[in-house]
Amino acid sequence: MALSRRTFTAAAGAAALGLSLSASAGTGSGTPSGPGHSAPTGPPPPPPMADGRRHTVGFDRYSLLVDGRRLVLWSGEMHPFRLPSPSLWRDVLQKMRAHGYNAVSIYVAWNYHSPAPGQYDFTGVRDLDLFLRQAAETGLYVILRPGPYINAEVDAGGFPGWLTATKARARIFDPTYIAYADEWLTAVDAIVARHLYTRGDGTVLLYQIENEYYAYVTRPPGLDYMAHLYAKVRADGIDVPLFHNDQSRHGYWTPGSFDTGGERGRWLYGFDGYPAPDEVPPDWGHFGIGGQKGGATASPDTPGFVPEFGGGWFDPWGGVEFDGAGYAGSARTRGAAYERRFYLTNLANGITVHNVYMTFGGTSWGWLPAPQVYTSYDYGAAFDEGRRATPKVVPMHQIGQLVRCVPELAKLDPAGDAEYITAEGGTAGGVTGAAGRIKVYHLTNPDTHAHVYVLRNDSTRPVTSALPVAGASLPVTVPASDARLLAAGITLGRRKLAYSNAQPMLWLTAGHQDVAVLTGRAGEATVTALECASEPTVTVTAGDAESSYANGLVRVTARLGGLTRVLVEGGGVSAPLLLLLADDETSVRLWPRETPAGSMLVYGPALLRTAELRGDSLRLTGDTVEATELEVWAPDGVREVVWNEGELRMSVTGSGSLRAERPLAGVSGVALPSLRGWRRQVENPESEPGFDDSKWTVADRTSTFSTTPVPAGQPVLFADDYGFHYGDVWYRGSFTDATGLRSVSLGYSTGTQGLLMAWLDGAPLGTHRMPVPDKRTVRKGSWAAKATFDVPEKARTSGRHVLSVLVRRMQHDMDGRTQDTHKAARGLTSATFAGASPAVSWRLQGAAAGAADPVRGPLNTGGLYGERSGWHLPGYGDGGWPVVDLPRAERPRQGVTWYRTGFRLAVDPGVDASIGLVLADDPGRAYRVQIFLNGWNMGQYVNDVGPQHTFVLPNGVLRTRGANTLALAVLSDGTTVSGPGEVRLTLLGSAAGGVEVADVPSPGR
């Protein structure tokens, strides 16, 4: 395809910058795929850091190649914008790193950083540079995904609100849109270019352009668009491999499918997948159907790459997805067994670049969420919204350590077709998931000839069978709807594992001995065989285990429970091997870590954050919950161990470790105050006929770029056309002579769970609400309706009248189908009358982008009177408001009522307490609440819809040692008694340790 003029200009810019776009030059050039370019199996690259050195990043059909060394990328998704406390980014990153992840994937949301055209804010909670520095300091690679379109269940799929009111046709090669997108990418890339791993300035390893783009795949608007984005990013100095995330494995945007300016071998094909828990795990690679729709086989010369694989699922307003259980339902149905079944199947299928979406979901605070979702974006992820590790961390921890320590996994070929072994031990074909059968994927490494087996049980009951391995009949049990990985012929330090029916997790050399960890479910009987030229000395130092030696193998049989320790010495090997057999609960208390002086393994605490050697002193930081032992297998020469700045008395054990003579202390208690001293004030003076709206915006436009048609004879009333992009919007329509007026019909358009309230001359006409989504409409992003209200007889008079309308517009559609649906109208769309035809002049008011909070950003507030007047801010003078108690049973009233209180916390230093706010009431009461903590909009509660009742208050925004201001804006529709009902603080979890948290700026009045 010939270069378009714009693409050529960007490419020329790249050349002017001295950036080579060929595969054979440049610091980031990779190893081309194909015969003769395959790297051998060997140790992976060390954990990344901003080391100031040049690095190469390439790939072949097996895996990524970093400095020529194979890397299995085991990544988790988190979004900095869903955690508005930069100190806590480090907390989540350290937890991911400790639990086996070697990469973090992030979206960068255009709407979060751009309040207006030409304005880009990367300060405060939007400090991308800070996040990338923290990732490098933590030792994690970064997969960067800045769009321009991201989806991500955020407002407009990440497009800024102001883009909805432009002529730009989004997501195609439209000149206006391209100019705006270039402006955005220029701003992002100026930061990213300072953090590229290729240059040694950071750890950004891969970069995505666009997201799930399946429109115009074979036509110029799409081909030119993708070519332009590619050239633009390269022109901005981004030299790491680029990729796109194909939605649902269409085989779109594979290498060679669009113009990359002559550059070869620098584009990866990626695809996403979110299988339901009741599905049979799909084969999207080696064992799949092959071809364009076969997942990884659509691009046979690049590694299997899943930029998004389901780590949970989003929940819609009303909670229909999980039958009202909320994200607890997501975590339960997509739990640890789900992860083992699906993620190990991916690994068996050659997926070596694997990103779990989400690993930490966080909070869609303010007006950030897409219409389909409510405030919490917990997602049922491995780390919940309160930053706590869930049981789902167990397989992530085990697999993450495994892919780091077993280099054979980076280069595997199928040893044959997948087969089934039956409960009787034979092999048989049959239907996947048939009762009494285990599906077996058998793979081998072509360099080391090691064998890897993924065993999967798709039935609803456990299956025990026998697996033929290395001349032995290995007993195996796979629990119901679960899976496990077994290995044979892999190295465990200076010894070789012949076979085991326990899953390998890690090995390392600590001082003079090798240490290997294998895992399984508690109570399981295991057998592990090691190759030994002669009979070794085997000592069981802890646990239920026995050993025997025959035919060059030492066999260790054990029943898993806690940490079983078996020391193997001699047998023709100079160094001893400490074999640790751990059940699941114990495995996540084992923390490997690399230091310049060698590797180490820590056992005991709830989390190991950092490890640093200073001479003979090993300085550790981390978390405890309960009192726990601390044990360290350390490099030679360590004499002193310090835990969270406290020196420990250590003694040497028979396992070659140092053990603390006293347990580490658990976390102290956290006292939470009751919320009292509430003050109450009603608002919405905008509904009164005498309200001064002279400074409001006149609705005088006659045309729009919206995808919603303007009704004939009506002015444009759409809020976005007047610069009101987020939150509530008020309208006031003035007219004379209501003689004969029987009813008024108001057309309006909102996101999910929008509503409209109307008053005539200060008297309520009523409220209209969009329906709660059902399973058929959970993905619907725009809702339009017409609300018709009868006009009271006494209001049918001549003279001046004022029609006041409040629209809770919710958010913009995500435009997943590339139809500009993010431009669908929000707010009032029409007004028609029965019985009369008054000429109405309209004014409107919302939260204008130009007046956005410079610290909290434009997504924080909308157009309520209290928001415009600062009632949500700390320091507002509410001393004249009446004092009330909660819970309340407010008489039916249409409109807004505010409640404010203050509270103090005194959480002990060194305690990380995750605190939430609970709202609960009679579900028959029709009202909703916006929650403001220290001026930050931490979410929206809808009492009669749900399912969310607990709202996370992130430390930093929450002053855990100091004063806080809580404000609730209660919107009631006047049909029922309203609340608030119960409002209380709750402790979501706590740990001794944590990270140092800086207060997030919270300016007040």
In angstroms, the CA 157 to CA 161 distance is 10
Is residue 183 among the annotated active site residues?
A: no
- Other residues' Cβ atoms within 10 Å of the Cβ of residue 388: 16
217 Cβ neighbours under 8 A, 6+ residues apart: 223, 250, 252, 253, 257
Q: Hunting for tokens 């299997």 — which residue is that?
A: 304
Q: Which residues on adjacent β-strands are paired with residue 805?
A: 731, 758
Give the max Cα distance, the chain: 108
Q: List own/partner pairs for 176-185 with CB under 8 A and 24 or more apart.
A: 178/6, 178/225, 178/228, 180/117, 181/148, 181/229, 182/232, 183/117, 183/118, 183/120, 184/110, 184/114, 184/120, 184/146, 184/147, 184/148, 185/146, 185/148, 185/229, 185/232, 185/233, 185/236
SS3 readout for 123-179: CHHHCHHHHHHHHHHHCCEEEEECCCCCCCCEHHHHCCHHHHHCCCCCCCCCHHHHH
- Other residues' Cβ atoms within 10 Å of the Cβ of residue 559: 16
Q: 493 with 516: CB under 8 angstroms?
A: yes
SS3 readout for 314-367: CCECCCHHHCCCCHHHHHHHCCHHHHHHHHHHHHHCCEEEEEEECCECCECCCC
Q: How many helices (H) and strands (E) does the chain have?
A: 11, 56
Residue 567 corresponds to which amino acid? L
HSE-up of 650 (CA within 13 Å, CB side)?
22
Q: 544 with 561: CB under 8 angstroms?
A: yes
Q: 64 with 58: CB under 8 angstroms?
A: yes
In angstroms, the CA 411 to CA 488 distance is 15
Is residue 153 among the annotated active site residues?
A: no
287: left (phi over 0), alpha (psi -120 to 50) or beta: alpha
In angstroms, the CA 935 to CA 311 distance is 32
- List b or e across 854-893, with b for residues whose CB sees 16 or more CB atoms inside 10 angstroms: ebbbbbbbbbbbbbbebbbbbebebeebeeeebebebeeb
In angstroms, the CA 638 to CA 620 distance is 13
- Other residues' Cβ atoms within 10 Å of the Cβ of residue 427: 12
In angstroms, the CA 87 to CA 77 distance is 18
List the one residue out of 758, 747, 785 whose CA is nearest residue 974. 758
Given the residues 212, 263, 385, 631, select the one marked as catalytic.
212
Given the residues 77, 153, 308, 524, select the one marked as catalytic.
308
List the one residue out of 228, 222, 107, 229 whose CA is nearest residue 159. 107
Q: List own/partner pairs for 222-227 with CB under 8 A and 24 or more apart.
A: 222/172, 222/173, 223/1, 223/258, 223/259, 224/4, 224/6, 224/7, 224/173, 225/171, 225/172, 225/173, 225/178, 226/253, 226/258, 227/1, 227/3, 227/4, 227/7, 227/258, 227/259, 227/260, 227/261
Q: 307 with 143: CB under 8 angstroms?
A: yes
**DSSP per-residue codes, 483-545:** EEEEEESEEETTEEEEEESSEEEEEEEETTEEEEEEEE-TT-EEEEEEE-SSPEEEEEEESEE
In angstroms, the CA 692 to CA 773 distance is 38
Q: Active-site residue numbers? A: 212, 308
